[in-house]
Amino acid sequence: MTARVTLTTVVRSTLFAQALGVLTVVWGLLSLASVLLPYRKRFWFVSRWNVATVWLLRTLVGLDYRIEGTEHIPDTPCIVFCKHESAWETIILPIHFAPQTWVLKRELLWLPFFGWGLALLAPIAIDRRAGKTALQQIVEQGRERLARGAWVVVFPEGTRVKPGARTRYKLGGASLAAATGSPVLPIAVNSGDYWGRNSFIKHAGTVRMVIGPLIDTRGLSAGEINRRAETWIEDAVQRIRAHPSGRTAA
């Protein structure tokens, strides 16, 4: 879907950017005080930024969302594999999978205010140039986060991709799943249709987030885990785009 950019869209996007900037500075400073709280309470406090941002998107931009497939969410945390088309999913997922940690590039922690809030939530921050060392960090730290009862969110493509584009799924999250036997919960989104990669413009509409059946990873190699997750996610993304306003069977 290619939405037309209108003057209203530009104005709404500008108002959102200004409001988000103020919110991020204020909440980034307030979040520093939460370092004294236990991890779960600290996560709840910091992630109120996410809740407020969703409200801003709905109110100023007209961008809402709906979730399908919630019946597939297990009672205990596992590894989440999510399609990555936009900053949108990084805002939404912490609201629905809490507490959680992410596999992310360590440079994000250096960002003023926003990065400070991220650092308080114990992410798995890696140097992507470190090769096998980075993979070991994902497995070791991911195992510890799962043991403490946190969801581990992975964007297996490693970066945001344009709507309709595909890139090779990285082995980090799949290696963690293979090492721990934790199931993988696949998620497909069409967020890039409304909030493009690195785009200032946000379009009104309803993002669909579809959650798929759990993938039992016991006895599977990292490559096979990736293959199964990629097949379900990419097929689901195509179904969403074929029927953007209808329900997509998981």
Kindly report the CATH number assigned to the domain that includes residue 223: 3.40.1130
Q: Where are the beta strands (DSSP E) in the chain?
A: 63-68, 79-82, 100-105, 124-126, 151-154, 184-189, 205-211
Give a yes or no: residue 248 inside a domain. Answer: no
Question: Which of the 8 DSSP states describes residue 24?
Answer: H
What is the token pair recorded at 40?
A: 């779960």
Question: Which of the 8 DSSP states describes residue 53?
Answer: H
* Highest-confidence segment of 25-29, 130-134, 201-205: 201-205
pLDDT at residue 206, as a whole number? 96
pLDDT at residue 249, as a whole number? 46
| Nearest CA-CA partner of 185 in 225, 138, 148 | 225
Instruction: Give 117 or 150, the one with higher predicted confidence.
Output: 150
Domain span holding position 158: 7-242
Decide if pLDDT at 35 tops 70. Answer: yes
Euclidean distance between the first and final Cα of the chain, in Å?
A: 22
Cβ atoms of 50 and 121 within 8 Å: the answer is no
| Count of residues making up the chain | 250
What is the token pair recorded at 246?
A: 């209808």
Decide if pLDDT at 131 tops 60. Answer: yes
Give a yes or no: residue 247 inside a domain. Answer: no
Give a yes or no: residue 17 inside a domain. Answer: yes
List C-alpha distances in Å: 181 to 16, 48, 141: 41, 32, 15
Mean pLDDT of the chain: 92
Give a yes or no: residue 107 inside a domain. Answer: yes
Decide if pLDDT at 119 tops 90. Answer: no
Give a yes or no: residue 2 inside a domain. Answer: no
CA dist 212 and 17 (Å) reads: 32
pTM of the predicted structure, to 2 decimals = 0.91
Residues 133-172 pLDDT 10s? 888 889 999 999 999 999 999 999 988 999 989 999 999 9
pLDDT at residue 128, as a whole number? 67
Number of compact structural domains in the chain: 1
What is the token pair recorded at 113?
A: 């205010």
Specify the pairing of strand 100-105 against strand 79-82: unpaired
169, with CB counted inside 10 A (0-12, 13-18, 19+), is: buried
Give a yes or no: residue 42 inside a domain. Answer: yes
